[in-house]
Chain A
Amino acid sequence: MSTLTRHHGGIIIVVTFLIAMMLTIAPLPESMRIFRPDWTLLVLIYWTLALPLRIGVGIGWTVGIFQDVLTGTLLGQHALAYAIVAYLALKLHQRIRLFPLWQQSLSILVLLTLGQLLILWVNGMIDRPIQSWLYWSPSVFGAIFWPFVYVILRGLRRQFRVS
């Protein structure tokens, strides 16, 4: 990331993204795989809300490309979704930051669902329709896990004075 020199604690951001990506591909039992929240997107949203001047659409897009390669999806699919979600998070960051945690979760649910909607839409375009309501469960679980992600990442950010 190009802004490493001017800002502080970039390595922490990279590490959190790496951990999120590892969680994304960590093996889970077959029955639980479809419930796995999109950790990478959660981390991306957190950093966008916390450091809107630093993390934004460009980084979201780059992370999305890696996510595509990592999960074997069409190249650009996650990149598109992440870029748009990061854009919306940027637009809304001042509002979301002030919410109490449970209200934040609801906003995050909307963002995650939108990201999934974009991915579903692309999947539909390339003849890979997904016909199960369970497809949306990662968003719900992502929103449920949001307070934990938020508290952990905020702790990290304060500990290492990431700015």
Chain B
Amino acid sequence: MVFVLLSVALMTLDHRQHHLGTLRGGLSVLVYPLQFTVNLPGMTREWLGEAFSTRRGLQEENARLRTQGLVLKANLQKLSALQAENVRLRELLDSSFQVGERVLIAEIMAVDLDPYRHEVVLNKGESYGIYPGQPVVDADGIMGQIVHTGPLTSNAMLITDPNHAIPVQVNRNGLRSITLGIGSLSMLSLPHVPNNADIRVGDLLVTSGLGGRFPAGYPVAEVVGIVRDPGRAFAHIEARPMANLDRSREVLLIWLAKQIDRRAETELAPEPVVTTTEPEQPDGTETSAQPEPAP
């Protein structure tokens, strides 16, 4: 019975107060060898695939990546110019704008967790400065956020988890809403959009940055179905996540400009990719649009 009480106490502490991060972190080091072993076949397969790829295939891939890199670089040039312009315009409006985010690449370990939770294990942990609540993205969109960190690994919750919600806005017109996971890897739901809202199938939903947790402007999902039932207060809207939640292996961890500032002095990851621009006003609020009357 002692053990029953102990478990209940543990569960309460873990659920209500989140005090057990260190305990969980310590235990996660102990189970790391298991995770590593289970992950091994996948890693070996990947390594073998690399080791035995043909010269021709590599050359083709190299050429493809080079053209892709060129295109991306060209876009990036435009982006930095636009970013500078954006900052300048916002200065004119006296509103704060945060740019400058740091990213780190992590790998998803081939390890299964509870099938009713959409969580994945990443192969980087606190030693890289990863913190709970950190946004995780892949090449196509937001994947989720970190929920537990250990010294060597961290657990990330995907946006499709039934307990996950993410503030979004429609990219076309800025309509704000919240997207909830419903436990299906290919579907999200928007439960709080009124029937008469201007939202269409095919609309891109991007993060609004309002929660203060996710950076603004990253693609989250695409609206795939709308049912407007006049008998109900809200429309029934379904969206498909943009990120390859079930296929991605490499993910990006993002540090918001705010957090970079806060931990500017602390020792950070060994392989950071730092973007060029620094935040304009470190203490600015997360809301990006704060138009004030022009002088």
Contacts and interface: CB of A to CB of B under 8 A. Distances in A.
A71 interface: yes
B267 interface: no
Nearest to B116: A130
B28 interface: yes
Interface SS of chain B: helix
B222 interface: no
Nearest to B16: A126
Contact of B112 (A27, A73, A80, A128): A27
Interface of A: 18, 21-22, 24-28, 30, 33-34, 36, 57-58, 60-61, 64-66, 69-77, 79-80, 83-84, 122-123, 126-128, 130, 135
Given A22-B38, A25-B35, A65-B27, A72 B7 contact: no
Contact of A58 (B3, B34, B38, B111): B3
27 contacts: A22-B34, A25-B34, A25-B112, A26-B112, A27-B111, A27-B112, A36-B112, A36-B115, A57-B3, A65-B10, A66-B30, A69-B24, A70-B31, A70-B34, A72-B114, A73-B117, A74-B14, A74-B15, A75-B11, A75-B13, A76-B7, A80-B7, A84-B4, A126-B15, A128-B116, A128-B162, A128-B163
B79 interface: no
Given A25-B35, A27-B38, A77-B11, A72 B117 contact: yes
A114 to B, nearest CB: 13
A24 B114 CA distance: 9
Contacts of B93: none
Contacts of A34: 115-116
Contacts of A28: 112
Contacts of B155: 72
- Interface size on B, as a range, is 35 or more
Interface SS of chain A: helix
Contact of B163 (A18, A73, A127): A127
Interface in B1-57: 3-4, 6-11, 13-15, 20, 23-24, 27-28, 30-31, 34-35, 37-38, 42
Nearest to A75: B14
Interface of B: 3-4, 6-11, 13-15, 20, 23-24, 27-28, 30-31, 34-35, 37-38, 42, 110-117, 119, 121, 147-148, 155, 162-163, 185, 246
B28 to A, nearest CB: 5
A79 B7 contact: yes
Contacts of B114: 71-73
Given A73-B114, A75-B20, 7 more contacts: A27-B112, A60-B3, A69-B31, A71-B113, A76-B7, A77-B11, A135-B116
Nearest to A64: B7
B115 A83 contact: no
B37 A22 contact: yes
A19 to B, nearest CB: 10
B286 to A, nearest CB: 26
